[in-house]
Amino acid sequence: MKVSIWHNNKDIKIEETPTPKPGPKEMLVKVHSCGICGSDIVEWYRLPRAPLVQGHEIGAEVVEVGQSIKNYRPGDRVMIAPKVPCLKCSYCKNGHYPACSNVKERLPGGFAQYILVPEVLVEKGTYRLPDSISYDQSTFIEPLACVVRAQHLAGIKQGQTVLVMGCGMSGLLHLKLAKTKKCTIIATDINKTRLEFAKKIGADTVIDASENVPERLTAEIGRKADVVVLNTSALSAIDQAWKCVDKGGCLVFFAVPGPDKPVTIPINILWTQEIKVLTSYYCGPPDITEAIKLLEAGTIEVDDLVTHRLPLEDIEKGFRLVIEGQESIKVIIRPHEG
Ligand SMILES: [Zn+2]
Ligand SMILES: [Zn+2]
């Protein structure tokens, strides 16, 4: 089978390896679609584990199951989480699944033609795809689950004003989800095409991020936002973000700058205005279940976000498209095509 080995964003090699045989409690799945995530291109985050097979937004078909597996059989359509929390440690018990300290095994990456699914992920990390969710759509389950989690943590309520900073795939999913809660949405980006798209899919107001966003925000809506979601690692956006949160509101770091770029928090201002600063990282099992429901019911539509479908051989191009972020929103790799 073909598999792509990521060394860094400019060096991704396609290699031929034997297709693995599942052990008694493992299964082999055929990857139909795998999305390139915004976090896949973040080298400071990924390089410590390189070289590796990337890809964690997976839509796959079961092709072979170990003899002890009763729940799945060849032909089943599934999505598989990249890792599963233990549900037993104190972090899990408090709902902080992404911080679970007992994660031992990860799913091998999905930028490959097949994946050998380890026992723990067969048991707890595999989700059956409803018929109405295509393989391409299923690549949005994991990113949407992360968005569901962030909005839950931020306590976004019906009718609130939400400022979405950065209109890449995550920002647009935030926009779509907040829209289902009848929020007023303001979106920012430096890319004009993305802003137009944000407007088309429901942003009430869009602001070019190169302008003075706090000023434009208050000019447009007469106040600041209840919730600000940062979907960009740009320090300039963070500088603007503090000034865009209304009293009692919150700022969510959905994306963060690299570790070599410290952020100074204006704590005194935030303190007297009871402004919360939150981080949201990854997702947990309840978020995945919720994301599947949202896609199954068609509450969140994602087809309009897919700009590129590429064969595995073109994965370097796919990464380049995501890094440049000019003409792409969602890039999906289809390892059995081309
Ligand atoms: Zn992701
Ligand atoms: Zn745990």
Ligand 2 (ion): which residues have CB within 5 A? 85-86, 89, 92, 100, 102
CA of 97 to the centre of ligand 2 (A): 6
Q: According to the model, what pLDDT value does residue 201 have?
A: 96
CA of 67 to the centre of ligand 1 (A): 32
Question: 293: closest CA among 72, 132, 77, 76?
Answer: 132
Residue-wise pLDDT for 211-260, tens only, equals 999 999 999 999 999 999 999 999 999 999 999 999 999 999 999 999 99
Contact in structure between 30 and 114 (CB atoms under 8 Å): yes
- Mean pLDDT computed over 199-208: 97
| Ligand found nearest the CA of 57 | 1
Report how far residue 90's alpha carbon sits from residue 257's, in angstroms, rounded to the nearest whole number: 29
What confidence category does residue 89 fall into, taking pLDDT thresholds of 50, 70 and 90? very high
Question: Mean pLDDT, the chain, as a whole number?
Answer: 96
CA of 158 to the centre of ligand 1 (A): 26
CA of 30 to the centre of ligand 2 (A): 29
Is residue 188 scored above 90 in pLDDT? yes
- Mean pLDDT computed over 39-56: 93
Is residue 76 scored above 90 in pLDDT? yes
Largest CA distance in the chain: 65
| Ligand found nearest the CA of 93 | 2
Coil vs helix vs strand at 281: coil
Is residue 338 scored above 90 in pLDDT? no
Strand partners, 334: 311
Report how far residue 167's alpha carbon sits from residue 176's, in angstroms, rounded to the nearest whole number: 11
Does domain 155-279 sit in CATH 3.40.50.720?
A: yes
- Mean pLDDT computed over 59-82: 97
Q: Is the pTM of this model over 0.85?
A: yes
Report how far residue 282's alpha carbon sits from residue 143's, in angstroms, rounded to the nearest whole number: 8
Q: Is the peptide bond before 51 cis (omega within 30 degrees of 0)?
A: yes
CA of 35 to the centre of ligand 1 (A): 8
Report how far residue 275's alpha carbon sits from residue 2's, in angstroms, rounded to the nearest whole number: 50
Residue-wise pLDDT for 258-285, tens only, equals 999 999 999 999 999 999 999 999 999 9
Tell me the two tokens of residue 76. 């089943």
Q: According to the model, what pLDDT value does residue 249 have?
A: 98
Give start-end residues of each CATH 3.40.50.720 domain in the chain: 155-279
CA of 220 to the centre of ligand 2 (A): 44
Helix, strand, coil: what percent of the chain each, to 5? 35, 25, 40
Ligand 1 (ion): which residues have CB within 5 A? 37
What confidence category does residue 51 fall into, taking pLDDT thresholds of 50, 70 and 90? very high
| Ligand found nearest the CA of 170 | 1
Q: Which CATH class is domain 2-143+283-334?
A: alpha beta
| Ligand found nearest the CA of 104 | 2
Rg of the chain over all Cα atoms, to the nearest angstrom? 20
CB atoms within 10 A of CB 220: 13
CA of 24 to the centre of ligand 1 (A): 30
- Mean pLDDT computed over 105-132: 97
Least reliable range by pLDDT among 35-44, 172-181, 282-291: 35-44
What confidence category does residue 104 fall into, taking pLDDT thresholds of 50, 70 and 90? confident
Give start-end residues of each CATH 3.90.180.10 domain in the chain: 2-143+283-334
Residue-wise pLDDT for 278-326, tens only, equals 999 999 999 999 999 999 999 999 999 999 999 999 999 999 999 998 8
